[in-house]
Amino acid sequence: MKKAFDVAPAEIGYLQEFVSHVNELIKSRFAQRVLAQPTIRLRTKSDWTNAELVNFDEEECQSFLLKCRLLIQDRDGISINRIWSMFKDRIDDSWWAKINPPRWMLNDYLDAQALFEGGSNASVNNRLILETFLYGSYAHLNPEYRKRFKEWQTDPERFYLLKLEFIMALKVLLSSAAKMTLVVEEFLKQLTER
């Protein structure tokens, strides 16, 4: 039987770092100027080569993504999956029931088919869009993702629509992390009161 407060000191450190990290992301310029807005707008002129995302700044996005990728990559200990796993495997079921819905919502969104095609009339899901932009351009240069990213760039209309979906995926990712943070903060508060 799992005990609610049987958590190793290293895990407490990861939980605290997760909270701190997500709160920094929420306060970032990119999150405030783009992700916190109720809508994300794409403005076009006569053709798609002059399209632009309203309030979007490439440098702010890159800065945000350098930190945001820690929520996706498991190796640093503060990914959404690692935090969720701590609650699933080591903390009682009532806490897991609180932290599971935001992660479930995120995975459900990422696994859903995207609104736009990825080229060659191929349907793609939101996870592939997120990973293609992240690992094909912003955070790494994985050859497979880079090739797909470059292919998407050959069609400006498709590229901007996919980039819009990428930003929506970031919005859902940050929202899910923020909801998980509330649960982690509540858990840490109860842990210190014991």
* pLDDT, position 5: 56
Residue type, 55: N
* pLDDT, position 41: 83
* pLDDT, position 60: 93
SS3 readout for the chain: CCCCCCCCHHHHHHHHHHHHHHHHHHHCHHHHHHHCCCCCCEECCCCHHHCEECCCCHHHHHHHHHHHHHHCCHHHCCCHHHHHHHHHHHCCHHHHHHHHHHHHHHHHHHHCECCCCCCCCCCCEHHHHHHHHHHHHHCCCCHHHHHHHHHHHCCHHHHHHHHHHHHHHHHHHHHHHHHHHHHHHHHHHHHHHC
Q: How far is CA 43 from the centre of its chain?
A: 24
- Model-level pTM? 0.90
Q: Which residues contact 19 (CB under 8 A, 6 or more apart)?
A: 181, 184, 185, 188
> Residue 22 corresponds to which tokens in the numbers above?
């997500």
* pLDDT, position 1: 45
Q: How far is CA 117 from the centre of its chain?
A: 21
What averages of pLDDT result for each successive group of 10 residues across the chain (194 residues)?
A: 65 94 96 89 78 86 92 91 86 84 95 80 86 88 91 88 93 97 94 81
What phi and psi values does residue 118 have, to the nearest 5 degrees?
-95, 10
